[in-house]
Structure formats: structure tokens, C-alpha cells
């Protein structure tokens, strides 16, 4: 009979390998991948969303290069690493606190460099940031007899903390550019350089001259360098699984992908195992206020979020003066990669979508508020909508949705141009359903066209088509569903199919047409 593994301490909030190992916590062994990366090159950049284990990975590199073998007992690195050679490590982190000016940034950098000098036992003489950093790297190499390792964690945080104030953000960017530029001419004194953060700011600007810095963000070999895989959950965390719905864990929290193996956000799983309740733990740690505002300002059609296409240049277009919504959504973890196609040599088109149910429901709830729906009304409507879908009470659905649009204050329309674009009404409609975590198909392809939205719920199929009219309803939405045979795709399911044509009036700012037809199995 198999012996069950004992439960261990959950490493919630622990970002150092020493503390994690000494306290007997669960540990997902990434040391083999870490050594593979070290063996493959010297200069690397990795972007991952917040709370994804980046700091623990940086600390793991630190402990490896400092030769702290005891921490790696029983891990993949124990037999693969040369423990006789130790390198001086310069670790730089901007994770703590919020810096609000270029002067504060420079003071913080001086503090970091001063701490590093004391730890490595070197004396600096230069007063400028760039000169002191260059001197620190050189002296660390000379005094320790081994080339230095530079590890930079949360490299972009001073910029992101000020992203709503472009002028301050630019000052932060320029200050960091001056700081990071030192690495360009320090190659003779460097063994390994690793930078990580949330965003991928313009590499040509922020890391000017570092042509040999490899961006491994979209390299399938390192997709699981941070995060937990399904195998990790089933083995390392096996003692935590009894009493929890394994498929629900996968549906809610798995799905982050960077062209390789999909992973879970560690924070979500650790909090789930601690509380034993399904909640949007990761989402709740950081309200996407700036993201929602940007999407609204750019008249983003929210149904596109479930399947969005982009090329690499657009995914990487993230700078203070130009932030593409696709780049922001992807780099901050609200969208992830679902696939890549190569329509011609050298051309790659990426398909993005929600990573999991947690992000889909939570983001759309935030978007509803950002698109004008009062939070209380949105909550009440969600509760009522579930009841309506269970009974397929379509007249009640019309009443509910009209009330939802009517709840948007007239003053909101006056202050926002968002309601002027035709996709606004469909966006509010879609996000209301998506906020429930339902099985939704958007732009669902058929032989005769694309269905605007399909909802599959408890043995029923709901097919929606949206039209925007100037004022009076014209019956075009339901007519299109019928004429193009949209229901044919779902007849084989043997379930009732509800055809729903919805027409929105620009003048009334509400639903003026709601025609329905039900096809029995």
C-alpha cells in the first residue's frame, strides 16, 4: 500500500530559497531548468506577470553562484553544479516601496550599490551612479578572483509605479537606462546577467547596446521556468488535493503559457491550499485600474479578449509613450498565448486569450464598472441572470438586460466618449455574461458566417446576434440568425437552442429589439 506524503508548510510570501528550504516548505524544483539556462548563455531577460515566483528564481540563481550547496540537497542542482567555484553576486531589486521621482530613484540605487559594496567587501570611490556600478562590477571580479554575476529583480517597477504620470515615468525610464547601460561595457567582468520584471519595455531603448541580452520570455524551453505545472500540482502538492475538485483547480487557475508547457500562478494555488476555497486570489492583489481605463479610452471591443490576434512587434510595443492594449494585457497576465501560426516564412501570428476562469470572470467584472455599469447593479444582475439561464426565461432576460443598461447614469455618458462606438453595447452585454464564468463562444465560425456570441449552459444553447440601430428596432438580428442557419452547428447536440436577436438604439442607449425563437431538440 502506498504511503501518503505528509503535508508541509505552504511557502506563501516566501521569496528566498534559504527560508523556504530551512522551514521545510513545499518546493517545486526549478534548479535543473536554472542550470540549463546558465549553460545556454550569459545574458538573459525574462518577463512574467506579478506574483509568479520571479524573485524566488532570482534568489535561486544567487544561491547557486554563491555555492551554498546545503540548500540544494536532494534537488536537481546538487549533482550538476560545480560547487568548488563561487562567484561574487550583485543582486539589485526594485520590489520594495514606490519611488515617485528621479531623485528618489537615484537615492535608492545608491543605497543598493552601497549595500552590495559592503556585502562584497569592496570600496567605491566614484560619485555618479553609472561610474559606481561599473566600479563595483570590476572590483568584485578583481577581489574575488571570479567574474561577477548581476541579478536584477523587478527591473521595471519604478516605471510601472508611475505609468499613469507619463512625465515621471519617462524620468524613471531615462534614469534606469543610464544605470543599465553600464552592463554594455562590463562584459569582461561578468559571468552571468539575469533581469526580470513584469513588462518588456523597448529593448532597444532601455537596454541600449546590450545586443547580446537574450529575451527568453517567448522561448518554449523556459515557459515553465516560473509557475507550477500540472505535474507539479499532482506530485509536489498531492497532500493538499484531497477535498478539492481537481478539474475545477485546473479550470480556474491553470493556463498561463509562453509557447511551451502551461503553468499555474503559484500565489493562486498556495492561497487555495491554505483557505480550501476557490477565489480570485491573484486578481484581488492588484486592481487593473489603469488597464480598464486604457481599454475604455481606446474603445476596446471586449468580446475580442477571448481570442485576440497579434504579431510579435505589437506584443512588444510597451513604452511610456506608446502602450498597445494587447501588450499590456499579455505582459500583465490578463491574456496569455493560446497558439501561434506561421502564414509565411518569418511571420508569426499569436493568438491570445484568457488564461483561465479566474481572470476571465474577474477582468470582465472590472470592465463592466469601467464601461459605466454601477457595481451594485452589476452584482444583482449576475445573480438574477444565472436563475434566468437555468429556466431559459427569455422575457425575463430582456427585462434584466434593459434594466442593466438603464442603470448606467446619464452623467457617465456625458463624460465618456466610449458609448459613441458601436461595439460599446455588445461589450457591456458580453462582459456581463463573461463575468459569470460561463462557457461562451465569441465570433463562432459557421459555414455561413460568424455568430456574435454563443452561450452553452446546463443542456441549453443560447445564440446571440447584435445590431446597433439609430432608434427603432428592425428585426435584422434574428433574421440573420435564421437566414444564415447559425443553429445548424449545434443541432447535433440534441439540446434546446434559443435564438436571440438583440438590437441596441444609439438614441435610447438601450435595447430596443429583443426577438427570440426556441428550437426544440
Quick: pLDDT tens for 308-343. 999 888 787 777 888 888 999 999 999 999 999 988
Q: Which CATH number fits domain 29-222: 3.30.1360, 3.30.2320, 3.40.50, 1.10.10?
A: 3.40.50
Alpha helices in 318-422 (DSSP H): 325-331, 357-370, 375-391, 394-406, 410-415
pLDDT score at 316: 76
Confidence bin at 2 (pLDDT 50/70/90): very low
pLDDT score at 5: 75
Long-range CB pairs of 293-297, under 8 A, 24+ apart, other chains included: 293/370, 294/323, 294/325, 294/328, 295/325, 295/367, 295/370, 296/370, 296/371, 296/416, 296/418, 297/418
DSSP 28: -
Is residue 491 over pLDDT 80? yes
Confidence bin at 490 (pLDDT 50/70/90): very high
Confidence bin at 207 (pLDDT 50/70/90): confident
Interval 17-36 mean pLDDT: 97
Name the average pLDDT for the chain.
Answer: 93
Contact call for residues 330 and 352 (beta carbons, < 8 A): yes
Domain ranges for the chain = 29-222, 289-353, 380-519
CA 390 to chain centre: 32
Confidence bin at 285 (pLDDT 50/70/90): very high
Quick: pLDDT tens for 48-62. 999 999 999 999 999
3-state secondary structure at position 115: helix
Rounded Cα distance between 33 and 36, Å, is 5
pLDDT score at 209: 66
Quick: pLDDT tens for 372-393. 999 999 999 999 999 999 999 9
- Torsional class of 443: left (φ above 0), alpha (ψ -120 to 50), beta (otherwise): left
Is residue 214 over pLDDT 50? yes
Rounded Cα distance between 91 and 266, Å, is 23
Quick: pLDDT tens for 168-206. 999 999 999 999 999 999 999 999 999 999 988 765 567
3-state secondary structure at position 498: strand
Percent with pLDDT over 90 in the chain: 80
Tell the CATH topology of 380-519. Answer: Trna Endonuclease; Chain: A, domain 1 (3.40.1350)
Rounded Cα distance between 330 and 291, Å, is 11
Amino acid at each position: 500500500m502506498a504511503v501518503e506524503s505528509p503535508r508541509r508548510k505552504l511557502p506563501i510570501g516566501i521569496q528566498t530559497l534559504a527560508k523556504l528550504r530551512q522551514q521545510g516548505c513545499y518546493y517545486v524544483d526549478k534548479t535543473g531548468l536554472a542550470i540549463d539556462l546558465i549553460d545556454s548563455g550569459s545574458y538573459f531577460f525574462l518577463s512574467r506577470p506579478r506574483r509568479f515566483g520571479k524573485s524566488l528564481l532570482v534568489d535561486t540563481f544567487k544561491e547557486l553562484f554563491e555555492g551554498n550547496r546545503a540548500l540544494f540537497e536532494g534537488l536537481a542542482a546538487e549533482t550538476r553544479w560545480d560547487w568548488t567555484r563561487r562567484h561574487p553576486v550583485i543582486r539589485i531589486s526594485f520590489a520594495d516601496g514606490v519611488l515617485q521621482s528621479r531623485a528618489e530613484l537615484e537615492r535608492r540605487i545608491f543605497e543598493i550599490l552601497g549595500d552590495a559594496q559592503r556585502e562584497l567587501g569592496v570600496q567605491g570611490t566614484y560619485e555618479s551612479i553609472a561610474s559606481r556600478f561599473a566600479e563595483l562590477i570590476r572590483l568584485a571580479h578583481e577581489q574575488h578572483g571570479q567574474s561577477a554575476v548581476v541579478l536584477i529583480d523587478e527591473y521595471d517597477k519604478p516605471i510601472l509605479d508611475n505609468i499613469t504620470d507619463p512625465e515621471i515615468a519617462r524620468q524613471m525610464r531615462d534614469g534606469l537606462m543610464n544605470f543599465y547601460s553600464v552592463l554594455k561595457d562590463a562584459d569582461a567582468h561578468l559571468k552571468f546577467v539575469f533581469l526580470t520584471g513584469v513588462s518588456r519595455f523597448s529593448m532597444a531603448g532601455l537596454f541600449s547596446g546590450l545586443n547580446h541580452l537574450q529575451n527568453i520570455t517567448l522561448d518554449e524551453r523556459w515557459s515553465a521556468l516560473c509557475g507550477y505545472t500540472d505535474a507539479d500540482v499532482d506530485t509536489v502538492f498531492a497532500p493538499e488535493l484531497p477535498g478539492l475538485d481537481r478539474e475545477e483547480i485546473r479550470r480556474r487557475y491553470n493556463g498561463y503559457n509562453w509557447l511551451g508547457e502551461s503553468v499555474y500562478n503559484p500565489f493562486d494555488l498556495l492561497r487555495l491550499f491554505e483557505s480550501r476555497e476557490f477565489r480570485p486570489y491573484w486578481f484581488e492583489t492588484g486592481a487593473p485600474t489603469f488597464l480598464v481605463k486604457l481599454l475604455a479610452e481606446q474603445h476596446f471591443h471586449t468580446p475580442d479578449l477571448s481570442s485576440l490576434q497579434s504579431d510579435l512587434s505589437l506584443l512588444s510595443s510597451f513604452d511610456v509613450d506608446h502602450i498597445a492594449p494587447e501588450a499590456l494585457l499579455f505582459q500583465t497576465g490578463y491574456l496569455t498565448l493560446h497558439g501561434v501560426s506561421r502564414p509565411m516564412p518569418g511571420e508569426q501570428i499569436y493568438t491570445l486569450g484568457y488564461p483561465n476562469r479566474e481572470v476571465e470572470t474577474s477582468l470582465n467584472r472590472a470592465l463592466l464598472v469601467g464601461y459605466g455599469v454601477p457595481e451594485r447593479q452589476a452584482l444583482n444582475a449576475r445573480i438574477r441572470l444565472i436563475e434566468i439561464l437555468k429556466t431559459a426565461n427569455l422575457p425575463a432576460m430582456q427585462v434584466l438586460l434593459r434594466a442593466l443598461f438603464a442603470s448606467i447614469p446619464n452623467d457617465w455618458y456625458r463624460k465618456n466618449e466610449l458609448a459613441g462606438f458601436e461595439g460599446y453595447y455588445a461589450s457591456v452585454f458580453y462582459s456581463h455574461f463573461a463575468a459569470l464564468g460561463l462557457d461562451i463562444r465569441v465570433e463562432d465560425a459557421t459555414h455561413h458566417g460568424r455568430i456574435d456570441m454563443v452561450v452553452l449552459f446546463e443542456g441549453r444553447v443560447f445564440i446571440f446576434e447584435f445590431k446597433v440601430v439609430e432608434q427603432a428596432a428592425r428585426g435584422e438580428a434574428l433574421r440573420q440568425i435564421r437566414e444564415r442557419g447559425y443553429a445548424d452547428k449545434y443541432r447535433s447536440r440534441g439540446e434546446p437552442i434559443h435564438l436571440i436577436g438583440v438590437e441596441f438604439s444609439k438614441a435610447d442607449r438601450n435595447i430596443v429589439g429583443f426577438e427570440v425563437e426556441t428550437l426544440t431538440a
